[in-house]
Structure 1
Amino acid sequence: MNHLTLAAGTMCTLIGPPGCGKSTFAAHWPDTWRVSLDFYRRLATDTESDQSATPVAIQIQDLLLDARLARGLSTIVDSTNLRPHVRAGLLARARYWQRPATAVLFDVPLHVVEAQNAARDRIVPTHVVHELHQLLPTVDQLRGEGFTTIQLASDLSSTQ
Structure 2
Amino acid sequence: MEFAPGTLIVLVGPAGSGKTTYAAAFPDTWRVSLDAYRRLATDDAADQTATPTAAQIQNLLLDARLARGLTTIVDSTNVFAHVRAGLLARGRYYDRPITVVLFTTPRTLCEQRNAARDRRVPVDVIHAQDTSRPTREQLLAEGFTDIRLAPPTTAPLTVTHS
TM tier, shorter chain? Answer: over 0.9
Query: 1:97 corresponds to which residue?
Result: 94
- The 1-side partners of 2:121 and 2:130 are apart by 12
- TM-score scaled by length of structure 2: 0.93
The answer to whether the 8 A contact 2:151-2:157 is kept is: no
Match of 2:27 among 15, 27, 30: 30
| Per-residue deviation, residues 52-107 of structure 1 (Å, max 9, x unmatched) | 10001000000000100100100000000011000000000000000011001110
- What is residue 74 of structure 1 aligned with on the other side? 71
Letter matched to residue 136 of structure 1: R
1:62 maps to what in 2? 59
CA distance in 2, matches of 1:95, 1:155: 29
- My pick for the range that moved more, 143-152 or 129-138, is 143-152
User: What is the number of residues matched between the two proteins?
Assistant: 157
Q: In structure 2, what is the equivalent of residue 145 of structure 1?
A: 142
State the shift of 1:154 in Å.
3.8
Q: Alpha carbon RMSD of aligned pairs, Å?
A: 1.2
- TM-score, structure 1 as length reference: 0.95
Query: Which SS does the other structure have where 1:130 is aligned?
Result: helix
Q: Give 5+ residue unaligned stretches, structure 2.
A: none
SS at match of 1:134: helix
The aligned residue for residue 3 of structure 2 is: 6
d(CA) in 2 for partners of 1:155 and 1:114? 16
